[in-house]
A and B are shown apart, each in its own frame.
Chain A
Amino acid sequence: MNYNRRISRRLHEEHDATLALWGRVEATLAARRHDPALLRSAAAALAHELDRHFRFEEAELFPRLAAAGEGDIGELLSEEHGTIRAAGERFIALVGEDPSKSEIRVLALELAERLVGHVQKEEMSLLPALEDLLDEETDDELDATYAAA
């Protein structure tokens, strides 16, 4: 989909990067290969995503959706953030301790699936809603806020 809003395009690009990275993680683990460097890279990217992408959506976008009568989307996505955050923080901690730990495989596969499902929902509902909701000025402000975060 082509987005007119800068913030939608930025979030969409990050979704693409997330899917590419976690697609590699999923394929590697499904083939029972061990790649500690890839796991560390995934953990670092996830930490960044939880801290920046998720927080930005929760602080800046979901309240705007709720105010526009689209609160159900924000609620669902917020709840998924909670689930992904809990699993993600555990994954980051385990990879930081020892990337060869056996429980990392199941956790990483779960995270890969949750992240893909979450991106699907954001691409289907959040980004199209932002296209309607934001005017150019607000879009510029949000883009600047996100760039500075």
Chain B
Amino acid sequence: MFASASRSRLLPMSLPFRYFGAAAAFQVAAWGMLLYSFRALVEFEGGLGPVFGALHLLTLGVLAMTAMGATLQLLPVATRQPVRALWAVRLLWWLYVPGIAAFAAAAAAYRPDLMGAGAMAVALALLIYGVLLFRNLLGARGMKVVVAHGWAALGCLVALAATGLALVARYEHGWALDHVALRNAHLVLATFGFMGLLAFGLSSFLLPMLAVAPAPASGVSKGILCASLAGISIGALGFVLPAALIGLAAAIAHVVSMERALRSRLRRPLGASFLLVRASWGCLIASLALALLMALGLAPARAALLFGVLLVPGWLLTFLLGVLARIVPFLASVHASGGARGTPLISALTPARLLAVHGGLHLLALSLLIAAAVSGRPTFAALGAAAGLAGAVAFSAFFAYVLLKVRTHELQPPHQPATA
């Protein structure tokens, strides 16, 4: 299955970048839908509607989409195994993008009868991705910590897809399933499981590379992975208190190990994108501390909403945006190299001011959404969604800028060097 095609570990530029581009577009759509339904946000307790649609545009459309693009390009470098079936990478994108659009639109329009087709396309795409990931991990050499996180994330992906399909079946066919238990398991497996473990694993390889720092000690990373897996498994089974305790310990240990590694970096300036990464770590720890308070019955009103804000846009989205701001120009510079024109400077592909504007708007949006969840005031939700939408547009402009710069670099005459 999935034989032939590529021997190179560097995919053609169009492959990872179509995933990043789709993620940028879905981010605009997610914030736009949230702005449209800002009143419903402060009352959201689950169930179909525009907030549910926006949430899944964010989780499936931005987070998982970016994870797919990033792992398909970066994992082969870490595992020293090329992706051998480029056609499958293309096919899964063509299934996944319309699948998410159909699923989120049907959910936003309270049409469970139409969600099934989108959900099936998404599940099929995730299956193809799972097979690609499985094959890559199976032949992996080197970077054992990244590979171990990959296996753990793959396990979570399988369980996540199964719980997701069961939830859709309940909506569409009225199956008698324990909705709350399934929904909670789905949430834990998606956020802390699949996405969280990929973020932890790739962090141990990517962040040291970007900062030119040593990777955290492998034993420490493996210990954190074991604790994370224990917390995720217990949490998925509904035991919130021990899961939150273990998860909180694992998250703090992860952040401490990463900060220790970064302190030994050889390249002093980290860049503004690391501000987003550090803000995301703060949100991760805060989300687990809040889960602990919720399990102890000490949480404030609307704690579930605040937990969701800290977890999805706070931890996962902020982390991904911080990392994408660095790896998109880095990968573009690698792809744009060739012939007499040489490799363009990464700084020439990085619009620093635009990224600063994006970072500021994103953090403003996050702060306002947290304020909305704490106070229950829709005005904060509206302002937060508006700032998030503006930030998402700025991020899309950054992505378009990089593509344009790569194209003009290709068109430059050979005697004209790339300049910052």
Interface residues of A (CB under 8 A from B): 1, 16, 19-20, 23, 27, 69, 72-73, 76, 79-80, 82-83, 86, 106, 109-110, 113-114, 116-117, 119-121, 123-125, 128-129, 131-132
Contact = CB atoms under 8 A, between A and B. Distances in A.
Contacts of B337: 76, 79-80
A131 B333 contact: no
Given A19-B212, A79-B337, A128 B343 contact: no
Interface residues of B, number: 29
B336 to A, nearest CB: 11
Contact of A119 (B141, B212, B268): B212
Given A19-B267, A120-B209, A79 B215 contact: no
A27 B10 CA distance: 32
Contacts of A106: 419
Nearest to A86: B342
B10 A80 contact: no
Nearest to B8: A72
Contacts of A69: 7
B142 A120 contact: no
- Give 10 closest A-B pairs by Cβ, nearest first: A83-B342, A19-B266, A72-B8, A128-B142, A124-B209, A113-B345, A80-B343, A79-B337, A120-B209, A83-B343
A117 B268 contact: no
B345 A110 contact: yes
B77 A124 contact: yes
Given A23-B268, A80-B337, A120 B80 contact: no
Given A114-B345, A117-B346, A119-B212, 18 more contacts: A1-B215, A16-B266, A20-B266, A23-B268, A69-B7, A73-B9, A76-B337, A80-B337, A82-B342, A83-B342, A109-B420, A110-B420, A113-B347, A116-B267, A117-B345, A125-B77, A128-B142, A129-B80
B346 A72 contact: no
Given A79-B337, A110-B420, A128 B342 contact: no
B266 to A, nearest CB: 4
A119 to B, nearest CB: 7
B334 interface: yes
Given A82-B342, A120-B212, A128 B80 contact: yes
Interface string B333-370: 11001100011011100000000000000000000000
B130 interface: no
A64 to B, nearest CB: 15
A123 B141 contact: no
Contacts of B338: 79
A74 B333 CA distance: 16
A79 B80 contact: no
Contacts of B8: 72
Interface in B132-187: 141-143
B214 interface: yes
Given A69-B7, A123-B209, A117 B333 contact: yes
A69 B346 CA distance: 28
Contacts of A110: 345, 419-420
B143 A79 contact: no
Contacts of A23: 266-268
Interface string B111-146: 000000000000000000000000000000111000
